[in-house]
Every structure is written in structure tokens, then in C-alpha cells.
Amino acid sequence: MKKIQMVDLKGQYDKIKDKVASSMMEVLDTTAFINGPEVHAFQKELEEYLGVKNVIPCANGTDALQIAMMGLGLKPGDEVITADFTFAATVEVIALLQLTPVLVDVEPDTFNIDPEAIKRAITPKTKAIVPVHLFGQTANMDAIMEIAEEHDLFVIEDNAQAIGANYNFKNGESKKAGAIGHVASTSFFPSKNLGCYGDGGAIFTNDDELAHTIRGIVNHGMYERYHHDVVGVNSRLDSLQAVVLRAKLPNLDAYNTARQTAAKKYTEAFKDQEHIEIPYTESSDDTHVYHQYTLKIINGKRDALVKHLNENGIPCGVYYPIPLHSQKAYMDERYNEADFPVTNQLVKEVISLPMHTELDDEQIDFITKTVIDFVNS
């Protein structure tokens, strides 16, 4: 059996190696390292793929979120509602901009932000909602867009984990994750579903005016050379990373299908296990692109299982072990433990298994058998 990896970047790279190498050599020869034609071409190709009017590439997914919020003109003291159960980057940029993060609980089955909890957290100061499409599954955008409309709030989708996923609206319409809210951010960190070979990110929006504002913000607030109209940042995707992303984008659907296929095999093996809860998926398979395959171990053996898997050569992860509202940096007297029953429970039960495009049946069989034998022992 091949050595099991949490993420197999090498196996995927081997299949696009020649394309990446030849395009990288061209960039080196032209020396168009920053804002070169490769970046522009990638931007256009991603706009087309997502069905979104504007993609603005930037340096990473954390910057993308921050820049999206700057572009919306949010002001210190404005309240921004987001999920308690997510990667810290989401709440970090809210705090950095001196906005007030308001963390709310998630749903026990999808792990995504709970629309009812959003409603309870709205105050006259609330200006935006940041749903995170966690682990690759789209959040309940019907409900979130409805709440936003009713209360006149911006919706900023943190799409770092779900690029390529669809959301199917109740009215039958379907859109790509990141093409639904007022603005969205994504990350091209190497392990993400569409990852480059360094850092990268992008902002998406259908609002041309907002896109214009953001294009200036990423470039030191310049709309005309050496005229600085707003306070901006320096955040760019470089041409060598764009080369990797252009080689990968045509394969993104196939990559996501490979993840979904691996997820189905896991689920088939785990579905009748009494101590294991499998990830919940909507009826339609395309709403989850399995950035992570995350189980709940409900008999108290999660931590022991992590140790057992590691001892048996099976990498795994606990995303996330501590609720954000309990992190030192984000504690706030406004929070009440009773408001986070789901997150407080999830952090004790979740475990993410190896998930990438190169998993084979032998590896999956070994992983599922090892997990099942242990939780029943």
C-alpha cells in the first residue's frame, strides 16, 4: 500500500508537471512576475468557471476576506456575524479592521452557520454576515440571503474551502459557492481544493462598482498611478502561482469528483456504525466538495482514535479543537456558553480523515477498517 497522506500534493503534481514546468519557464523568460498576462488570463478563466462578473486575485485567502470587508466600507464598531466553528482567519480580519466580530453557533449536521442563530444575533449595529462554506459544503444561502435582505446586511462568503461546490436554491436555481453573496473570498493555499504552490487568494463579486473599489485597494489604494484615494494594501497573486492555477483549473471538477468518490466510499463503510456519525450531505451531491471528510465519533473515543490512527500510519486532523469564542484573542463578555451548544459539542467529537484526489481503494479500506475496529473495541 502507498503511504497514506492527509493531502497528496505530489501525486497530483506529477500529472500536470510538464504543463507547469513549461509555463513557468515562459514566465521566467519574459520576467513578467507581477501582474503579468498569466494572472490576467487566470482571472478571466476563473470568472468564466464561477459564473461571476469579477475576480480580483490577491496574495492569500486571509487578505481576500480583509479586502472584501474594506471594499464594503465597513467602519470600526460595525458588527459582523460569523460562525463560531471555523478557521480563525475568518474572525481575525474582522477584529483587525476594528469591526466587532459576533460569533454564533452552527448546525449540528452540516457544521455550517445556523440561520436561526444569525437572526438572534442581529442588532442595529449589524452590518454583515460571513457564512463559511465549511469543509466544502455550501451553507444555507436561501436563508442567509433572505435574512440579509430583510435587515439590509452585506453577505461575504468565505469560500476558502468550497471552490467548485454548487448551491441549489429552493426555487430551482443553482449557483457556484462564492457567486451568491455581495462578495466572496477564496484561498489558493496548496492544500485547498484549488491550490497553488505557495500563497494565493482571490475576491469575487458581481458588483462592478465594488470590484473597481477593490482593484484599487489591493494596489495601495491607487486608481490612477501615484494617486492614493483610499488607504489600501499590497496584495497580489504572482505570475508563477497563476501558472499553477491555470494548469489546475481545467481539472477542478475532476478533482472535486475524485474527492466526492472517496467520500462516498468512506460513507458506505461508516454508515451503519453506531458510534460514528457520517457527514450530512444534501440530496444533491454537488453541494459538497469535501475539502475535509469529517466524522463525529459519538462514544467519547475521538481523542483515543486520533492517537490510534497516528500510531498506525494514518494521518488525521481535528478541525477545529477549540471554539473561536473560547480562544483568548476572541473571548468577549457578550458571549454566553449556553449560546454555543453545538460548537461546544463538535470540538469534542469531530475528526477529519485523509482526503485528497489521489486516495485509492486499498488505502480507504485500510483507513475505514482501522477506524471501525477501534471505535468498537
Ligand X SMILES: *Cc1c(COP(=O)(O)O)cnc(C)c1O
Distance (Å, rounded) from C-alpha 106 to C-alpha 196? 30
Helix H or strand E encompassing 293: strand 293-297
Taking the complex as a whole, how short is the minimal distance between the CB of residue 187 and ligand X, in angstroms?
A: 3
Taking the complex as a whole, how short is the minimal distance between the CB of residue 141 and ligand X, in angstroms?
A: 16
Beta carbon nearer to ligand X, 158 or 368:
158
The greatest distance separating any two alpha carbons of the chain, rounded to the nearest whole angstrom, comes to 68
Pairing of strands 293-297, 276-277: antiparallel
Taking the complex as a whole, how short is the minimal distance between the CB of residue 61 and ligand X, in angstroms?
A: 3
Contact (CB, 8 A) for 183 and 72: yes
Distance (Å, rounded) from C-alpha 355 to C-alpha 353? 6
Beta carbon nearer to ligand X, 86 or 294:
86
| Cα–Cα nearest to 266, from 361, 159, 132, 167 | 361
Contact (CB, 8 A) for 112 and 82: no
Is 238 a binding residue for ligand X by CB under 6 A? The answer is no
Beta carbon nearer to ligand X, 59 or 153:
59
Q: Which of 12, 62, 352, 370 binds ligand X (CB under 6 A)?
A: 62
At which residue does the C-alpha cell 476594528 appear? Answer: 98
Pairing of strands 154-158, 126-130: parallel
Taking the complex as a whole, how short is the minimal distance between the CB of residue 55 and ligand X, in angstroms?
A: 15
Beta carbon nearer to ligand X, 70 or 305:
70
HEC string of 258-270 equals: HHHHHHHHHHHHH
Distance (Å, rounded) from C-alpha 102 to C-alpha 249? 35
Distance (Å, rounded) from C-alpha 221 to C-alpha 231? 5
Taking the complex as a whole, how short is the minimal distance between the CB of residue 158 and ligand X, in angstroms?
A: 5
Beta carbon nearer to ligand X, 134 or 276:
134
Q: Which of 27, 89, 102, 103 binds ligand X (CB under 6 A)?
A: 89
Other beta carbons within 10 angstroms of residue 147's beta carbon come to 20
Q: Which of 12, 54, 82, 90 binds ligand X (CB under 6 A)?
A: 90
Is 61 a binding residue for ligand X by CB under 6 A? The answer is yes
Beta carbon nearer to ligand X, 62 or 241:
62
Applying CB under 6 A, the span of 58-66, 67-75, 234-242, 258-266 interacting with ligand X comes to 58-66
Distance (Å, rounded) from C-alpha 111 to C-alpha 161? 13
Q: What part of residues 168-187 is at the interface with ligand X (CB under 6 A)?
A: 187
Residue with the CB atom nearest ligand X in the bound state: 61
Q: Which of 87, 204, 290, 330 binds ligand X (CB under 6 A)?
A: 87
The mark string for 289-308 relative to ligand X (x by CB under 6 A, - otherwise) is --------------------
Is 245 a binding residue for ligand X by CB under 6 A? The answer is no
The mark string for 117-156 relative to ligand X (x by CB under 6 A, - otherwise) is ---------------x------------------------
Taking the complex as a whole, how short is the minimal distance between the CB of residue 345 and ligand X, in angstroms?
A: 20
Helix H or strand E encompassing 54: strand 54-58
Cell numbers for 349, please give them: 467529537
Q: Determine the size of the site formed for ligand X (CB under 6 A).
A: 15
Q: Which of 23, 60, 100, 239 binds ligand X (CB under 6 A)?
A: 60
Amino acid at 32: A
At which residue does the C-alpha cell 461546544 appear? Answer: 344
Beta carbon nearer to ligand X, 62 or 363:
62
Contact (CB, 8 A) for 91 and 79: no
Residues that bind ligand X (CB under 6 A): 60-62, 86-87, 89-90, 132, 158, 160-161, 187, 189, 199, 201
